[in-house]
Structures are given as structure tokens and as C-alpha cells.
A and B are shown apart, each in its own frame.
Chain A
Amino acid sequence: MIAASGLGARVGAFALADVTFTVPRGGYGVVIGPAGSGKTTLLETIAGIVPQTAGTLTLDGRAAAGLAPEQRGLGIVYQRGLLFPHLTVEGNVMYGAADASFARMVADRLGALALFGRRVRGLSGGERALAALARALAPRPSILLLDEPFGALDPRRRARVRREVRALHRELGITVLQVTHDFTEAGLLGDVAILLDGGRVLQSGEPGAVFRAPASPYIAEFLGAENVLAGEVRVLGDAAPDVMPGEPSTTAGGHRAIEFRTGALTIHTVGDAQAGDGHAVIRAEEVLLSTSEGTSSARNRFEGTIAEIATLGALTRVVVDVRGTPLVAALTTRSARELALAEGQRVWASFKAMAVHLC
């Protein structure tokens, strides 16, 4: 278990301040944040490499303040592996191992056993990452800190190693805290997502919840939401709004019908937002496109003109200009082809009231 409360640390001019989060024992936490947000400093503070200057840090029930790195029962894997260059891969993996057969088993599962006779100098970035992971796991730590460990691996091997690390984490009951830039990875691996920026935690919680309900427009944009619209929130009260069949009750769970005005658009949604200025977040994959008006259960439906089409492999991103407001829709390239979408074409963009998150 890793529990940080008001944790602070300083490295030169950079300060980590008031960091609070909990990764339960045996849980998998993922730290997400832009470059320079303090992700590595956070891991180094937990490891005892960077001194803690404020708050409390508890590792598996023990107060970490005053514990040297070698007393914390954790392992760390840096982004570039940082293998000891004067040792072979075997020398690295066995460096802190108490049980050689266990270390060999871990190395084998991660694909590092075949590298045992090699010197570090000749290894590729991916091979270094495998050896570094095996080295950190070999002493059987109860906590594993990973600083973007899969970045140097090719996509095929990355998926396999990611699965293996996840499996080892479950089998050995290790608490993992991993830094990543990859939102997919965060969603795939994490039980807890921690968003860090400027040395502070912006939001933390279950990854799905963080992605669905970002606490601020900045977080929404950082997490890749393409439709983040500034506007005015109007609460319509408990009066039943005009929600189509199939959508949840607008008053259920304390949700109220809400109207959000941005530019010339009026977006309908439900929620607990307060009246006043705010932002509406609609993920691009929630926006549907059709070439005829038709009918659907989606409460929000706007006619617009395609301003831009960008195809990225199997996905196509379409920007629809709705009376001066750009709405981004993400659809499969196959769907885009079937609809025969073209720039300048008139289309209808729709999304459900529940797809709108206000913050």
C-alpha cells in the first residue's frame, strides 16, 4: 500500500506539494502528467531517493519518513533502465536478488533470461527495459515503482511485457505505481489514476471515472478530450426535461436537467453542476455523424458542415462546424468511407445528454 497525504519534496527549484493519494495493497496505480509535472520526483520521493519535506508517506502500513531506500522494500525502474554498465545482464538481475531461482524465473517470464550473458553496452533500449524490470523484481519487493518502463519496447513486445508485469503484480501481490504518458496504458493497467501537474495532484481516482468525469477543462484536454467547450450552465430545476426514451431519468440520483449554452449552440445534459460559467466536455468518440436528419435517442443533434477530415489508420477524426462552433467526432475509417464523408458536406452531429460532462 502506498498512502501519501500532503506529501512535499523539493529538487532544485522544483517542488512537489500537497500530494495526496492512496494505492491499496496489491493495487496498481498509474501516474499521468505532462513532462516536468513531477512524476519522476514523486517516485523518487516514495523511494527515499529525494527527501520528503512535508506530509506523511505510508508504505505497507509503515511510516516512510526516516527510512533509507534500502529499508523501504521497494524496487524502481527508471525510464532508460539505468542498468549498471560494468556488469552483465545477469550481474544486474542478480544484484539485489536473495533467491537466484526466483530471479531467474522472473527474468525468464519477462524475456530477459536469454540476455543473461550479454553486456549492457550491446543491448537495445527494449532489452535494457526487460533487464531493468527483472532486476527490480528479483529481490521480491512489496512495492514496485515504474517510470515509463515500456516506452522503449516495440508495440508487440510492449503488450506481452505489460501483461506479464500485470500477472506478476497479481501473483506476488506487489503494489505498483507506474508513470505513463499513455492513456490507453493507464486505462488497461491502473486501479487508481493520479493526474499530476506542476508538482500537484489535479485529480485521482478510478481511471474510468477520471476519464469520464475530468475535474477541470485542463484535465479534460490533457486526457485527450477533443470537445471542451466554454459556456454558461443553466439549471432547469427538477422539471422533467425533454429527454428521449432510453436515457436515464433526469432527476434520478439527484441529477437535474441542465442547459449549456456555448456560442450559438444549446446543449442539453443532466448533472449536479451549478449555474454559471463552466465547460462542457464531450469525448469525440461519443459524437455520432449521419448524412440525413433522421431520428435517434440522442438529445443533442446539430446540423453542420464538415470542416476537416483526418484519417489516422483505422480511425478518422472529423471536425464539424456547427454554426461557428467546431465539434470533433471520432469514427472508424470504414464508417467514414461508407458514409462517403467529404469536406464541405452537410452532416448531422449527435450525442446523448449523458455523454456531456460539465466541469
Chain B
Amino acid sequence: MSGARAAQRAASIAAALLASLLLLFLLAPLAGLVAAGGAGGASQLFTDAELRGSLALTALTATAATALGILGGTPLAWLLERRRFPGRSLVMALVDLPLVVPHPVAGIALLLVLGRGSAAGGALLALGLRVVGTPLGIVAAMCFVSAPLYVSAAREAFGRVDPRFEAVARTLGDTPWRAFRRVTLPLALRGLIAAAIVMWARAVSEFGAIVILAYNPKVASVLSYDRFTSFGLSEALPVAAILALLALVPLVALRALRPERGAEA
């Protein structure tokens, strides 16, 4: 009995050691970055107009991309979660595809579809909308790589709402849309907000696809890369540190969201 307890204790210690090593590996670079460039970055926020403009552009384009993700992703997530239809598995796989494609490859693919030589790009140009090298391109790249995260998390949010709530609402006189609006949506709302935060955070941190589609105007990730390649580590550090600190904001927001009310019913 004591042998078994000793083995269990040894296993716990080994697990704690391995977990600590991983935690250290994950935290040390970011902590080092913030320690080295945090103060400089904070002061640079007041003096560096390009940095401020880049951060504002990043926030705006990420917000626009997230809005598009919510607009299309919410009904898609609901359909995938609630309805069984031919090709559903294929659609789910296709939605997840951008998550596994290397992001520069995603950028190249978007360039092919939305570039001026393509049918879609040409049509957009005719409407006065240029994608490549504009904020629109940044939004497209951000949306492409981060919307699958929204769809996946929104599906989970809908999945936590018992479909019988909708059924009961229907027997109480609601049409499908009214039942969705009055019951499913409020119950899934926290999960959907969390999904949107995850998408927004992913969009903010995107680099690979954006750099292909719209190197300029520079979002924060491109700016930090640009300063690193043009001026070296010391110039890139403050920008990188600010980005690392800003990444904490959505994480804190996510933790602040309580569990789904629908899951408690």
C-alpha cells in the first residue's frame, strides 16, 4: 500500500516538474521581452506616431474582421451544430482548413483570389475597392485565418444550449427565428462573446497572411518585423513588448466571462 502511495507521489512530482518546464518555456520569452522592452514601449506610445497609428490600424482591422466573422460565422456555427445535412462533415473540415494551412500560403491563396488579376479582385476594383496593400486586404487576411476559431467556439457555445429549450419555446408559440432570438441567442451569448474575443485576439496577432496581402499600411505585427529587419533588435523590442502586453487584454476579458448559463439548466 505504501509502495503504491510512493509511486503515486513520484508520478505527481514528475508531472509537476514537466508542467513547470513547459510553463517556464512558454512564459520566459514573453517575460524577457516585456522586461527588456516594456518600459521603452510604453514611453514610445507617446512619442512614436507610427506605432500609435499601427496599433489603431491593427485594432480597427481586427474588429472589422471579427464583425465579418460574427456575421457569417454565427449562422454557420448554428447550422453545423443544430442541423444534419449532406456534406456537413466536409463543410466542417473546410471551415477548419485555414487553421492548418501555413499562413503565408493563406496569404498567397488570398492574393490569387482577391488580387487585381482575379475575377473577384477585378470586380472589387471596378467598385472602387482595392484589396491588395489596403486595410481591406488586412481585414481579409485576418478574417481568413481567424474566422475558423470563431466558428468552432460558437459551435461549442450553441452545443452547450439544450436544443429542447428551443423546442419548448416553439410549443409556446415562437417561430424558429423568434425562439432563436429569445432563447438560444441569450443562452449562447457569453460563449459567442468569448468566441469573438478569441477571433479578435488571433486576428491581432496575425502576420504571415497579412504580410503577403498588405505589407503596407503596417499593422503592429508587420511593424515589429519591419523594425527588426530594418533597424535591428533594439528598435523592434518596444513594439514587440507592447504587442505582448496588449495580448493580455483579450485573455483577461475571456477569464472575466463566467460559464454559460445554458449549461446550468
Contacts and interface: CB of A to CB of B under 8 A. Distances in A.
Q: Is the interface of A mostly helix, strand, loop or mixed?
A: loop
Given A69-B167, A84-B165, A139 B264 contact: no
A75 B171 contact: yes
Given A70-B174, A75-B172, A139-B172, A86 B167 contact: no
Contacts of B183: 84, 86
Contacts of B167: 44, 47, 49, 69, 76
Given A85-B187, A85-B265, A96 B165 contact: no
A78 B187 CA distance: 18
Given A86-B187, A86-B261, A74 B168 contact: no
B165 A69 contact: no
B88 to A, nearest CB: 15
A281 interface: no
Interface residues of B, number: 20
Interface residues of A, number: 25
B173 A82 contact: no
A268 interface: no
Interface in A237-262: none
B262 interface: yes
B207 to A, nearest CB: 39
B170 to A, nearest CB: 4
Contacts of A49: 164, 167, 170-171
Contact of A68 (B165, B170, B262, B264): B170
B113 to A, nearest CB: 39
Interface string A56-86: 0000000000001110101110100011111
Interface string B207-221: 000000000000000
A37 B171 CA distance: 23
A50 B169 CA distance: 15
Nearest to B175: A70
B168 A70 contact: no
Contacts of A76: 167-168, 171
Contacts of A47: 167, 171
A95 B173 CA distance: 9
A82 B175 CA distance: 19
A74 B264 CA distance: 26
Contacts of A141: 171
Contact of A78 (B164, B261, B262, B264): B164
B5 to A, nearest CB: 40
Interface in B149-178: 162, 164-165, 167-175
A85 B261 contact: yes
Given A83-B265, A121-B264, A72 B171 contact: yes
A96 B261 contact: no
B172 A96 contact: yes
A49 B183 CA distance: 16
Contacts, number: 67
Contact of A70 (B164, B173, B186, B261): B173
Given A82-B162, A85-B187, A95 B172 contact: yes
A120 interface: yes
Nearest to A86: B186
For A44, A68, A84, the residue with the greatest tally of chain B CB atoms inside 10 Å of its CB is A84
A135 interface: yes
A139 B168 CA distance: 12
Contacts of B182: 95
Nearest to B166: A49
B192 to A, nearest CB: 14
A120 to B, nearest CB: 7
Contacts of A82: 162, 164-165, 168, 265
Nearest to A95: B172
Nearest to A50: B167
B188 to A, nearest CB: 10
A70 B179 CA distance: 10
Contacts of A86: 183, 186-187, 261-262
Which of B164, B170, B186 has the most C-beta atoms of chain A within 10 angstroms of its own C-beta? B170
26 contacts: A44-B167, A47-B167, A47-B171, A49-B164, A49-B171, A68-B170, A69-B167, A69-B171, A70-B170, A70-B172, A70-B173, A72-B171, A74-B171, A75-B172, A76-B171, A82-B162, A82-B164, A82-B165, A84-B265, A85-B187, A86-B186, A86-B261, A96-B169, A121-B261, A135-B172, A136-B171
Interface of B: 162, 164-165, 167-175, 182-183, 186-187, 261-262, 264-265
Interface of A: 44, 47-49, 68-70, 72, 74-76, 78, 82-86, 95-96, 120-121, 135-136, 139, 141
